[in-house]
Structure 1
Amino acid sequence: MYLNVHSQYSLRYGTMSVASLVEEAAARGITQMALTDINNSTGLIEFMRECDEQGIKPIAGIEFRRDKRLLYIGIARNREGMRELNEFLTEHNLEKKPLPDRAPSLVNAYIIYPFWYPGELNPNEYIGIRFDELNKLYGKDLKALKDKLVALQPVFVLDKVEYRLHEYLRSIDLNSVLSLVKPEDKCLPTDMFLPPGQMEAKYSRYAFILDNTRELMGRCVMDYPRGRINLNRRTFTGNKKNDRELLEKLAVSGLEYRYGKNNKEAQRKVRHELKVIYELDFCAYFLITWDIIRYSTSQGYYHVGRGSGANSIVAYCLRITDVDPIELNLYFERFLNAQRTSPPDFDIDYSWDEREDVQDYIFKRYGSQHTALLGTMSTFKDRSIIREIGKVMGLPKPEIDSFTDPRKAAENRNNPTFRKITAIYERMSDMPNQRSIHAGGVLITEEPITYYTALDLPPKGMPTVQWDMYEAEKIGFDKYDILSQRGIGHIKMAVKLVEDNHQRKIDIHQVKAFMRDPKVNAQLKTGDTIGCFYIESPAMRQLIRKLDCEDYLTLVAASSIIRPGVASSGMMGEYIKYHHAPETVNYLHPVMKEQLEETYGVMVYQEDVIKICIHFAGMDGTDADILRRGMSGKYRSKKEFDRLVERFFSEAKKLGRPDDVVAEVWRQVSSFAGYSFSKAHSASFAVESYQSLFLKTYYPREFMVAVLNNYGGFYARYLYVHELRKAGARVHLPCVNNSDSIVNISGIDVYLGFVGIHGLNETFINLIPEDRRENGCYVSLEDLIKRTGIGLVQVVILIRVGALRFTGKSKKILLWEAHLLMGAKVRVSNEPELFAMEAKNYSLPVLENTRLENTYHELELLGFPVSMSSFELLQTNYRGEIGANDMINHIGQKVKMVGWYVCEKTVRTKTGKLMWFGSFLDVEGNFFDTVHFPNTTTEYPFTGAGCYLIEGKVVIEFGFASIEVFQFGKLQILNNPIID
């Protein structure tokens, strides 16, 4: 008879998971209880599943609080009542209205007020009384209340130990030390399950209260369907027959567009896929995805279709993806087969500035009651929580810092305070911490989604469910992934700039032509891919060089073997070796040759793992699919994964596979867990990479401007400016008479935009170019001030960055003039003056700026130098013994090089030690890479941006040379003359 039970989903309040909560209740003989988490219904369906397993009657509800104060508890009579409670909470969440003191009148839900509630009660309303409040009934006339009192025994914690954990959670939530948390901000030490029989004993003098409680709970029936059922929108057109006919019509039309009229193989595959799609009832899923693409295309938006759905030729014909499944021999049955209960994933990428409009269309097209974004649930796993625990314990900052310092790990192990913090952290680490929003998942439902969840409104978000993708799938919802990435923004803007600058229209979807272009493939082979989607990182450029990658199929493989699963298992090296010498492949087993000859016996894609599990180990398609989900991070159950390990070995043994071969095959399979790509996914990435690469090859300046204007990519902004100069651009500092808010290009002249200037107000970032376009160029500093109303601080920023150099005056003179003008309070005027009054001229001494002074201004205001290179800033003229292009001639030799820092990557060895990989540019602007083993990292660390003197040995792997660093350090630069 527990009407007020809380799980960990009462965030930073409850301590028990739903599973442990129900398990504990069953152990105590509890036969019915109500889950009423604070201001959420996250655990609703999970709670019913767990109760069904334990033979407990589940009742659901919500505890409503405002500013931490309990207002009332809603108990659902049935699923309609739960919808009413969810909709009430949703209304206040979405409209950001505070919850009212009085609950609304609900038809299918009961409301329980705390004992102090004095108001008149409706028929569906009750007053809950705790056992420690029963003394307040003494001597009272209970006639009016007798039928309205119910027993209220809140449950927040399991025992006294968890009560202490609860206190830590409350302290973290309130950002307060433990001793300052008020009693009203936490639960009572007695808010837990009572020993069997104790509830009845405590209320024995008021048995009618228990009778009322039993009667109320007896009227509640959670009449939800049990097990996973399809809760997605079931049709697109309104009935399944029309859906089927429309999908077939669209597929046949698209087939002709993609393959022409006489491609028999394509026709056969389309017919086969349509049959499977019909049988599995996935027509609506395909059609809704097509509808989303249709809308975005009509708006001129460019998309990339990824995910397992890219294996489908029907998806290719519907233009959901640009990946040709026939060309790549994609394994359709792996993703859509008779055992599959959920549709394949479609990940649809849009430019970062277009996705929100696509989401808005989905909400309007399919209705706000039936559409929501998917949520996520973050936990306390991040070790930064150790710092939070230390703070609530009241520890001084230096002591907290020492607990998070990896160098003091051995010392900390023997520290009793650290051991206490660690014990608390371990209890807390898997607990949910806060609800957030999924990267791009959208749910479209058949019935109102509030039957299953209340909705949140995250900052700058849209209505969002209160559970994550794992729970969504268990309940019966399949998501549509509407994602964004900057790579698409690069492509879209570059195409527009090419059209403006060269009067040439590019059909960027003609990817097959790009793949056959020898110039594009030559550029790919060199690894000159800075700015290109997915292939610009140091690791990817190295891999491209090691593979001598110069075609689409090799790039598809590279997009997958770069993933940690393949790389950490040692199979990346094997793949590269066999790629160069396929005749030397030694297949582990004939099945490996039969299934994986295309990838030299190496498991590169998710499909490869599935094929091996089915054909080598004799597993069925269902288990293979579960395994695939485990490897892609979409299946939570470690128990299920462990079961498959056992099944893999037992089934392989039945087929007579040698034990040592089985063990090695499984090692390779298991190394993929959480990291592998499907081949279609890799192929989608490679398509976008080729689109970027085509633009970079033929229009490098426009492409790099687009990269800068879409906020870059893997690297810092200055590297893309460097690439612009390599491409022959004249890069100019921002200028009030030539720059726009973003970077612009005309011919070979590129003007940096106002957006990149640190400290410049957004108002003037937009106003300066807008006013110039409307009223002509600025003729003087005074003209700029009058027309824009800009203040002194902002003017000084513009002068120091060089944006008023058109005046022909030095920065120092302009600064004098600005102070004189602003001191005289220049009148702002957006109207042309009848008589232009000239400012007074003052006789000033010669005030010139040096290149070095200008460069320091640029470092401060842009973050990188423009007037001088980083090498020119060095105090020394030494530039190293060799350059990047000469490394190949010094293999095995000790050399000294000077490099401009580009980036670094920190990794841990198998023994837990730190090592680094670095990327640098030499004085000629060519890349070279470094490896820093653990024996050098402590003594010679990276110390941020700048030029480094590097001493080490030149090593080579698969034709790619790098430096194994012995020692290195940052070189001194010229002193700032402004400070001196």
Structure 2
Amino acid sequence: RVAQALTALRRRETLDRAAGHLMAAPTAHLRPRAELAAFLSRYPGVADTTVALGRSCVIDLAELRPELPEFAVPAGHTQDSWLRDRAEAACVGRYGPRVDPGAGAAWRQLDHELDLVAGLGLAGYFLIVHDIVRHATEQGIWCQGRGSAASSVICYVLGITAVDPLRHGLLFERFLSLEKAGPPDIDLDLESGRREEVIQYVYTRYGRLHAAQVANMITYRPRLAVRDAARVLGYPEAQTREMTRHIHHSPPGPDAGLPGDVRDLAAQLHTLPRHLGVHSGGMVLTRQPIGEIMPVEWATAEGCSVLQGDKDDVAAAGLVKIDLLGLGMLSALHTACDLIHAYHGVRHDLASIPQDDPDVYAMIARGDTIGVFQVESRAQISTLPQLRPTKFEDLAVAASIIRPGPIQAGSKHPLLRRRRGEEAVTYPHPLAKAALEPTLGVALWQEQAMQLAIDCAGFSPGEADRLRKAMAAKHAPEKVAAMRDRLLTGMAGRGIPPAAAEKIVSMIEAFSDYGFPQSHAQSMAGLIYASAWIKHHHPAALIAAIMAHQPMGFYDTQTLIGDAERHGITVRGPDVRTSGVHATLEPGPMPDQKPGPTSGSTPGPTSGSTPGSTSGPTSGERPPAIRRGLTDVTGLGEQAAEEIVAIRAERPFADLDDFAARTRLPARILEQLATAGALDGLGLHRRTALWSAGTAPGRSHQAPLPGLATPATAPELTSMTTAEETTADITATGASATAHPVQHVRPRLDRLGTLTAAAARTLADRAPVRIGGLPKYLQRPPTAHGVAFGAIEDETGMVNLVFAPHVWDRCHRTLLDAPAVIITGRVERSEGTVNVAVDRVEAITVATPVPRRHVGHR
């Protein structure tokens, strides 16, 4: 049945329509050994001959050992000597000359790494990666290495990574050792919007025959399985959509209301391979044509050739993979620094941002981190006041602590209590102290699990790395469990009592549910600090930059607007006279002046500036406001927005007729711009602009039919109310800078006895509370034993919500479907964080549209 369904799906037909293309008998499968032997018994000797033939055809792919392309080096150099030359020159800049006594440890480590790299024949690999970083940097593309590469002094001095591995005590064997099979793993984070430029550089440099991207096997998840099952069984599209509406990451149960045939087929499809995608960053390079090693095909995306194998297939074939990953936060930080330079005249980049600013750490410790990389989730915001970070190493802990591994290991709460001095620092055994001392006796990082195996069980670095690989495997618990006996035997040999040994092993086993590598956490800490520094000193720039790169991060644009306003920043809607393609900064209200309207037009640009540009450095006298970009308007693509800005640069738009005639946008786009308030600055309020959009010149190449033309002059129309403008904003742009949707039902909520989110956050522990607002950011992580989390948002901010399993089961459909809700529950206050334990959820209506919600499972 499954094979028939997959055949029909490939043909984009139902089972009934595909009947002529299905196999007549269900024989297309691998038979069990006994069944096959009985079938072949009529042909004496054929089974033995088949086995012998098969064995004679077996080759070990490892023997092929595909090599990387030869990296061109200057005359008189080998790849080893050129890498050493480049690394030693760079080491002087990072650590000082070799004769400097303070640089001795760095030079010794560099020599050790270079000798090891030469012995393993990997110099070309480092030169290729360094060349990619060089190209990205020369093109103004921000990038940095992450993962285990941050443990390497070679990578640090060459600028591949930004973390000093010696200062932070990172374990080099996590990255490379004599016993480690295969090349090291260097992951490069690149600005997400410009990653493709780097990929095309690699194709150009090494040739299409020698470079390809790695495939990713897309398997059936519950929702897709139900959708394809319903389609192939012939259910109408509308009914199929209704079936999948409430299915997300968990397979549907008997109470999901699905037809039996759909539920049964979906259960069989679940987890099966569906199609090949493109890996998020993996690229493979080879000296010989890559198609001689693994099949290659064109991907759907233009200019992308992809291997017909995933990362495990690539590793099995001995191919070297370099990960070129797109990271939205790098794009946002680059944009934020460009906005700061344009507005204040000060140039920053990741290297020049001042370090160790106590005010930045104080902001992080307050949990004021919406928009800050890696620490903006509700769980992180609740944890930060307890963690109380005061230095860079604490940010690496913050990046790691809200992870399944540390949570499963029971590391989170003991670590927080120990940092607050509420619990003594203890170790399961003295031999575990060296590995666990940086995190006060609890395990957070993969390197700590490796170090525990080395120090406590006598593992070699290579064995510890194999343990680390087992922890990272898809079926990690089984693989780690298989090494349990080796761990226990090794610890017994070192005199560790059974109880302590079991505790150490349980720490290690917990990392099979994904603990962070310490080297990766240190890399992330740099971006945490950089984004926090910008948020503290230039909050408008950071929020505008994140808006410019939406969707990214944890929060939607409406939440970002609310956070901006709570920080005293005016946010203004899109305006064809002044908006850029994406969000920009422009002069805000004078410090002694109340903020004006947050939507629609503002007075013309200040003297000396042009429409749509931020003012120069002198405008730093006034705090910046955020102007939403033209691409925020639904249906207006980037190309059209760029054309509007280019046309406006020739001369400002005089009125709507002038705008329509010069841009020649279709009526539907003019109407969207009018709905968004983007035409208000041309002297028309929204209703008049909407009417006039239909009569504006240049909108159509064809005259209207006789008698159907819209009157050229709009009748006298009343302006929209604030509530109507909010609705129009959300309809046209997905968010409103005019007002929060809940603000317009506040009188009704007050009559129903609800509090605002801000008021609820002031209540005492265990106080009963009712809050009205929009439910957002719903999550049910697999490590929470059925507990779900979310937030409720109104015009004053957000409050975190916690749903016990039975409450979630009862109310989750209301949370997903209702425009707005009233939450009834009790306040839970702990260490400066406030949650509401939910008892009841009631649906209420709001006039404004709200985006569709889903449940996250992270």
TM-score (norm 2): 0.83
For 2:511, the aligned partner's letter is F
Quick check: 735-744 or 818-827, which moved more? 818-827
Matching of residue 956 in structure 1 with residue 797 in structure 2: no
Which of 527, 536, 544 is the matching residue for 1:688? 527
C-alpha spacing 1:256/1:385, structure 2 compared with 1 (3 Å): same
Identity over aligned pairs, percent = 25
**1:305 aligned partner:** 145
1:60-94 deviations in whole A, cap 9, x for unaligned? xxxxxxxxxxxxxxxxxxxxxxxxxxxxxxxxxxx
Deviations along 1:206-256, whole A, 9 cap, x unmatched?
Answer: xxxx9xxx99x9999869665366423164237996111111111111111
Equivalent of residue 174 in structure 2, options 319, 322, 334: 334
Instruction: Measure, in 1, the Cα distance between the counterparts of 2:182 and 2:766.
Output: 55
Q: Distance in 1 between matches of 2:586 and 2:469?
A: 49
Give the CA deviation at 1:328. 0.5
- Counterpart of 1:784, as a letter, is F
Instruction: Find the residue that maps to 1:369 and give its secondary structure.
Output: helix
Paired residue secondary structure (1:890): coil
Q: Name the residue aligned to 1:929.
A: 800
Verify the 8 A CA contact 1:556 1:686 in the aligned structure 2.
Answer: yes
1:252 corresponding residue in structure 2: 88
Relative to 1, partners in 2 of residues 1:825 and 1:707: Cα closer, same or farther, differing over 3 Å? closer
Q: Secondary structure at the match of 1:713?
A: coil
CA distance 1:642–1:568, shift in 2 (3 Å): closer
Contact residue 405 and residue 444 of structure 2 kept, 8 A: no
How far the C-alpha of 1:478 sits from its partner, in A, is: 2.1
**Counterpart secondary structure, 1:848:** coil
- Residues 578-628 of structure 1, C-alpha deviation per residue, up to 9 Å, x if partnerless? 122286023221122232111122111111101112222233333321220
- 1:494 maps to 2:336: yes
Distance 1:446 1:568, change over 3 A: same
Q: Retained in 2: the 8 A contact 1:172–1:389?
A: no
1:471 is aligned to 2:313: yes
Superposed, which structure 2 residues align to 1:251-290 within 5 Å?
Answer: 251-261=87-97, 262=100, 263-290=103-130
2:660–2:699 Cα contact (<8 Å) kept: no
Residue 755 of structure 1 aligns to a residue whose secondary structure is helix
For residues 459-517 of structure 1, give each alpha carbon's deviation from its aligned partner in whole angstroms, at most 9, with x where no partner exists.
11511111111121122112111010110011111111111111111142135x32x11
For 1:456 and 1:178, the matched residues in 2 are separated by 29
Partner Cα separation in structure 2 for residue 183 and residue 369 of structure 1:
40
* 1:354 counterpart SS class: helix
The 1:975/1:295 distance shift into structure 2, 3 A limit, reads closer
Q: Please name the residue that 1:863 is paired with.
A: 734
CA contact (8 A) 2:375 2:398 kept: no
Distance across 2 between alignment mates of 1:901 and 1:647: 49
Kindly indicate whether the alpha-carbon contact (under 8 Å) linking 2:177 and 2:462 is maintained by their aligned counterparts in 1: no
Letter in structure 2 aligned against 1:494: A
In structure 2, how many angstroms separate the alpha carbons of the residues matched to 1:496 and 1:792?
34
Task: Say which of 893, 896, 901 aligns to 2:767.
Answer: 893
C-alpha distance in structure 2 between counterparts of 1:639 and 1:843, whole Å: 72
TM-superposed deviation, 1:840:
10
Cα distance in structure 2, aligned partners of 1:824 and 1:447: 55
Deviation at 1:864, TM superposition (A): 2.1
Q: Could you tell me which of 646, 657, 665 is aligned with 1:782?
A: 657
Residue 627 of structure 2 corresponds to 751
The one-letter code sitting in structure 1 at the alignment partner of 2:253 is A
- Alpha carbons of 1:241 and 1:475: their partners in 2 closer, same or farther (altered >3 Å)? farther
1:919 aligns to what? 791
Establish whether residue 556 from structure 1 lines up as the match of residue 396 from structure 2: yes
Q: Any conservation in 1 of the 2:656–2:696 contact (CA below 8 Å)?
A: no
**Superposed displacement of residue 177, structure 1:** 3.6
2:282 matches 1:441: yes
* Structure-2 separation of matches of 1:651 and 1:660: 14
Alpha-carbon distance in 2 for matches of 1:201, 1:292:
61
Match of 1:233 among 53, 68, 76: 68
> Of 646, 653, 657, which residue of structure 2 is paired with 1:770?
646
Judging changes above 3 Å, is the alpha-carbon distance between structure 1 residues 582 and 846 closer, same or farther for their aligned structure 2 residues? closer
1:622 aligns with 2:495: no
1:306-360 deviations in Å (ceiling 9; x for gaps) = 0111100111001100001111011113332221122221110111121111111
Residues of 2 paired with 1:707 and 1:944: CA distance?
A: 28
Cα 1:904/1:472, change in 2 over 3 Å: same
TM-superposed CA distance for 1:700, in Å, is 1.1
Q: 1:847 aligns with which of 718, 741, 751?
A: 718
Match of 1:6 in 2: none
CA contact (8 A) 2:743 2:794 kept: no
In 1, Cα distance between equivalents of 2:394 and 2:717: 63
Q: How far is 1:723 from its partner?
A: 2.8
Alpha-carbon distance in structure 2 between the residues aligned to 1:314 and 1:252: 9
In the superposition, relative to structure 1, how do residues 842 and 488 fare at CA in structure 2: closer, same or farther (>3 Å)? closer
2:209 partner SS: coil
Change (3 A) 1:862 1:650: same
In structure 2, relative to structure 1, the CA distance for the partners of 1:283 and 1:856 (3 Å cut) is same
Amino acid at match of 1:904: L
How many residue pairs are counted as aligned between the two chains? 784
Task: Give the equivalent residue in structure 2 for 1:520.
Answer: 360
Q: What is the distance in 2 between the residues matched to 1:190 and 1:609?
A: 48
- 8 Å Cα contact 1:792-1:822 kept in structure 2: no
RMSD: 3.8
What is the match of residue 794 of structure 1? Answer: 669
Tell me which residue corresponds to 1:667.
506
Shift of 1:407: 11
Distance in 2 (CA, whole Å) between partners of 1:556 and 1:679 is 7
Equivalent in the alignment of 2:347: 505
Aligned to 1:832: none
Distance 1:178 1:881, change over 3 A: closer
Q: Is the 8 A contact 2:776 2:793 kept in 1?
A: yes
Q: Is 1:485 aligned with 2:327?
A: yes
Letter in 2 for 1:696: K
The separation in 2 between residues aligned to 1:760 and 1:894, in whole angstroms, is: 46
1:973 aligns with 2:849: no
Amino acid at match of 2:769: V
Q: Output the amino acid matched with 1:172.
A: L
* Alignment TM-score, normalising by the size of structure 1: 0.73
Shift of 1:364: 1.6
1:456 is displaced (CA, Å) by 1.3
Q: Which residue of 2 aligns with 1:742?
A: 582
